[in-house]
Amino acid sequence: AVVEDAMITADLENELYLVYQPISRATDLKCIGYETLARWNSPRIGPVSPAEFIPVAEHNGRITLMTRLLLERALSVASKWPKDVYLSFNLSAHDLSSPDNCLKIVAIVLKSGFDPARINFEVTETAILHDFDQASNSIQMLRELGAGIALDDFGTGFSSLNHVHKLPLTKIKIDGSFVRDIHQRKTSFKIVKSVLALSADMGLDAIAEGVETLEELQVLQTLGVGSVQGYYISKPVSADETIAAFAPPR
């Protein structure tokens, strides 16, 4: 109830912000994109994790405002990146739950003038399962706009293979739980290996997330994963740091 109460009076425009975690090509760790991660610093209750405040916002309806605010900001920052760097933006179940919600997202993208082909929307299986048919329509709509769709936290939900088959996805994000100690855990190794074979077979990009050590990275490189993300490569950084990263050396 504490988070619920704090959110009712929150000035989300000022209290919400985004951090940006690099996504890098596995072979040479060149940065090819950034995933935006929402942060809420409440003056009343301090920092709250999105894992906690997104579900609350979905419940009380403030998610509509949050998505608009965060996506507009992300697009504005991303417009200052080189053209070969993409934006990866997390969507919630609510964002996918009606054609109306999804059209609002499409409208924000079109208004921004940012190339939709440089946007990747991340959706979780949980968000999809909330209402599969509607989520499927929304994903189709975003694909028609020209954006990519990544299935996030792959392997942690239910009947994953079924979803990969039925939805017009472009990427799979292999959950960090399969990356953890992959150099020592045979089961994780086998799972990641078969997920990579599946992705290749279906023409999907594979991203391994939660890479924390060199040992993990090396195994992923050997297995041929396309891109990597995690604390070993970089923690999430501020908007200014993403822009500074591309400034010419002086």
Which residues are near ligand G by CB under 6 A? Answer: 21, 36-38, 49-51, 54, 70, 90-92, 152-153, 176, 209-212, 230-231, 236
Give min distance, CB of 224 to Na ion, in A.
22
Give min distance, CB of 57 to Mn ion, in A.
19
State which of residues 58, 122, 175, 216 lies at the interface with Na ion (CB under 5 A).
122
**What letter represents residue 198's amino acid?**
L
Nearest to 192 by CA among 212, 163, 217: 217
Asked if 153 touches Mn ion (CB under 5 A), the answer is: yes
Contact yes or no for 74/36 (Cβ under 8 A): yes
Give min distance, CB of 89 to ligand G, in A.
7
State which of residues 152, 164, 207, 236 lies at the interface with Mn ion (CB under 5 A).
152
Closer of 148 and 152 to ligand G (Cβ): 152
Contact set for Na ion, span 68-97 (CB under 5 A): 90
Show the site string, 149-178: x = touches Na ion by CB under 5 A, - = not.
Answer: ---x--------------------------
Q: The tokens of 181 are what?
A: 């100690």
CB atoms closer than 10 angstroms to residue 222: 12
User: Which long-range contacts link 150-153 to residues 24+ away (Cβ below 8 Å)?
Assistant: 150/88, 150/120, 150/121, 150/122, 150/123, 150/205, 150/207, 151/123, 151/124, 151/125, 152/90, 152/122, 152/123, 152/124, 153/124, 153/125
Closer of 6 and 207 to Na ion (Cβ): 207
Asked if 21 touches Na ion (CB under 5 A), the answer is: no
The Cα–Cα gap between 233 and 230 comes to 6
Which span (56-64, 97-105, 146-154, 160-168) binds Mn ion, by CB under 5 A? 146-154
The Cα–Cα gap between 40 and 22 comes to 20
Residues that bind Na ion (CB under 5 A): 90, 122, 152
